[in-house]
Structure 1
Amino acid sequence: MKKILFFTPFGGRTGSEMLIWNIFKHLNTDKFQVAVYSDKVGSLKNDLPSHIPYYTSPFNCSGISLLTKKLLTKFGYSVYEKNLIKIHEELKPDYWYLNTNLSGHFVELAEKLGVKIISHISEMPYLLYESLAEKDIKPMLKAEMTLCSSEAGRHSLEILEANNIKILYPLVDLQSIRPSESNKKIIKSKLNIPSDAYIWAMSGSLIYRKGIDYLPQIVRLMREKDKKCYFIWMGGKTGSASEYYFRKELAYYQCDNVLLTGALSEEYYDYFDLANAFLLPSHEETFGMVNVEAAYLGKPIITFNSGGVIDIMREGMGKIVESWNVEDLVNSMIDLMEGRIEINKETMRQRALDFDSSKMYLEWEKLMDTLP
């Protein structure tokens, strides 16, 4: 039996973290014993199978306890490191599994403890590397195995000279995609969207990487071309100045047909299924699990070539716009709306099933089996 201690930054509903949670859902407990460590206690903690321990930072506390730990650290007693060592000694793992490029700071301690690492780097350069120092990413590249999420991800890791690169496409829990027809009607009425309106779904945090800068331009071009449609962006607030500017720009240009839902959980697929099509204006996406969700729901996809989406798309699923020109993107959207792009919903659904979590879990297990 292999024992693996997973490290992940937030335990939240990001694609890279949902990926490993979908591994946990299918985990063969006859072959693997695992535990999870995260510096934060995110919403996914509640979805963790009960047999998998969840550990967190010793600083996730308050009052006298937090003050004591800060004082001990100040005077040279590494509370944080001692906590990790204790967790390691409890599980005695064969591997530390470092999820996302934010986990590089764990490598130094792993080397001290003599434990091997597996790196799972789901991020694309450049935007998701900007906040990292060189010293943060380089240690992760020496892992026993370096996993990525697409051919684009593999190529970037090859440039970085990562060790033993393997592609593992994200595991998408298609069985959880069950929109409620009755709830959809309630939501559409609540949003005051006309019954005959053409709706574009969009998804992700309200950040530059996801293409929030493009949306005001898209809305204005649609208006200029006298094409009526609505946009539903499903994604949580960030509180950043960038998001604040985005919201102010939407208001300035009177983009009343843009609906920002905020973070969604149970109703996510109900909102998604209201749409006629899915728009992905991201600057970078290593894969984009949401494209698989869109395909499973039968929503044609219009997207820039932001990276991993090219591994997903097939003829009959929509269009990849290569030019990075917003007007070209809008023209492709209009072509879809007016029936000039041929769509095959069975192709979309079958392609989505290629990434179903039960199938992709077996691919992960095969990769783990190649390690001693």
Structure 2
Amino acid sequence: MPKKIQMPSLSGGTGGIPEIMKRIMFISPYAGRAGAEVYLYRFLKNYDEQRFQALVVTEKFSPLFASLQPKILYTYMKKSSIVMETKKIVRQISSKLQKQDKPHGFGLFVEEVHRQFKPDEWVLNSILMQKVMPSVLRMQAHTTLIVHEMPSAYSFVSMQSMQAMIKYCQRIITNSSSSSKALSVMGREDIRLQPCFYDAEEIRIHQSRNGLRSELGIEPDDFVLVGAGSLDFNKGIELFMQISEASSGRAWKFVWIGGERKTGFNHFINCLYARLKVNGNLMILSEKDHDFYEYLNICDAFLLTSFNESFSLVTLEALALGKPAVVYDCGGVNDFMTEVSGRIVDSRNPKKWIDTIAWVEQNYKQFPASELKALAAQYSTKTQVPALTALLSDDENHA
């Protein structure tokens, strides 16, 4: 059972706060500073709390969401109690008799929170929240689904859950035209497009760029190419390493920022790195937190080698730092990448990438930092959060 949620008063006549404020329960994954979690964190950090009251529910503890209290309410599922386990068993038996989906333990927790908070709407922050769909149907909750994923991630969701989310969620929001197109194939044409956004307040550079480059053994005249993301197959780390190998001898340095996942693929990457790092032009750094932008800022250009991305926020953040990007034609980047901001590569042949990078290096003056930052500013929290706030509060006339 969740502990009693301390509910602030919703009544009052000051500051234009309505006597009955809409309540939204956001149900989110949390696995560290990943895309869906950071998206919701930045939104709630910057939204106008007079528009609706927000509660976030996660399965695991999230320091990100906890840091937003008391602006929002936050709770997470702790170790299952005997009472919760008993309820789960009873409902599993009941659902089997009625030929319904079995309830998930986290779904039962969400139901208990629902009874306390009494939300007007549930918002599932990712298709990975499929586990609460049986609870959505059982509680007949008015539900919005935010889709951050491309089709390559659909394999992590059961067919039954995907069908249910597409059919029963009253509203679906996604962050790129590529993602929207994929959803329309499954029968939903009323998709709402809401781009991702970065928080300019988070992009603060305190350390000397040249000093950090020097610490990493980068020469002043080296052309530095940075990639970022977890060391998984979809991020294209192998291609990034192949490009570095094929460009050995050039005054280029390749730096990847991101944590490993302790998988067989990571073992393969570690072995490949051990072989390639002797070339002296490749380094893989551990995952960064508060100092991420310091390391991103060492680059001369950003490389996005992912197979699929619904938006690629990190590419946008590189532009916000005034860095051009060379990106694979992987989906959502097409919504904001133009020849003003860099180049899109439609091949996974390292030679094609080397030719494109060389062109960007030779024509670097065509990418003034001021223009890149101006392009990125269109996707800042300042411009995008009010639009999403209006959409969720059903008041788009006041975006």
CA-to-aligned-CA distance 1:181-221 (integer Å, 9 cap, x gap): 43x44433332222222111111111111001212211111
Partners of 1:14 and 1:341 in 2: CA distance: 33
Structure 1 position 139 matched with structure 2 position 164: yes
1:49 and 1:329, CA in 2 relative to 1: closer, same or farther beyond 3 A?
A: farther
TM-score by length of 2: 0.85
CA-to-aligned-CA distance 1:21-70 (integer Å, 9 cap, x gap): 1110122222210111111223423432423222222337xxxx6xx478
Partners of 1:31 and 1:316 in 2: CA distance: 37
Aligned residue among 177, 181, 205 for 1:151: 177
TM-score by length of 1: 0.90
Match of 2:262 in 1: 239
Cα pair 1:198 1:228 within 8 Å, conserved: yes
Letter of the structure 2 residue corresponding to residue 39 of structure 1 = E
Match of 2:239 in 1: 214
Aligned residue among 323, 328, 334 for 1:304: 328
Cα pair 2:229 2:257 within 8 Å, conserved: yes
Letter of the structure 2 residue corresponding to residue 249 of structure 1 = L
Letter of the structure 2 residue corresponding to residue 101 of structure 1 = I
Cα pair 2:320 2:377 within 8 Å, conserved: yes
Structure 1 position 168 matched with structure 2 position 194: yes
After TM superposition, give the deviation of residue 74 of structure 1 in Å: 7.8
Structure 2 unaligned regions, length at least 5: 1-20, 93-104
Match of 1:100 in 2: 126
1:42 and 1:185, CA in 2 relative to 1: closer, same or farther beyond 3 A?
A: farther
After TM superposition, give the deviation of residue 262 of structure 1 in Å: 1.2
Kindly report the root-mean-square deviation, in angstroms, between the aligned alpha carbons of the 2 structures.
2.3
Shifted more, 335-344 versus 132-141: the winner is 335-344
After TM superposition, give the deviation of residue 324 of structure 1 in Å: 3.4
1:59 and 1:245, CA in 2 relative to 1: closer, same or farther beyond 3 A?
A: same
- 1:38-53 equivalent positions in 2, closer than 5 A: 38-53=58-73
Partners of 2:122 and 2:23 in 1: CA distance: 9
Letter of the structure 2 residue corresponding to residue 168 of structure 1 = Q
Letter of the structure 1 residue corresponding to residue 255 of structure 2 = I
Partners of 2:187 and 2:60 in 1: CA distance: 30
Partners of 2:87 and 2:350 in 1: CA distance: 51
CA-to-aligned-CA distance 1:157-188 (integer Å, 9 cap, x gap): 11111363010001211221111243x44433
Aligned residue among 20, 25, 29 for 1:9: 29
CA-to-aligned-CA distance 1:337-368 (integer Å, 9 cap, x gap): 22278323232111100001121011112322
Structure 1 position 57 matched with structure 2 position 93: no
Aligned residue among 319, 324, 340 for 2:348: 324
- 1:63-102 equivalent positions in 2, closer than 5 A: 68=82, 72=86, 76=90, 80-102=106-128
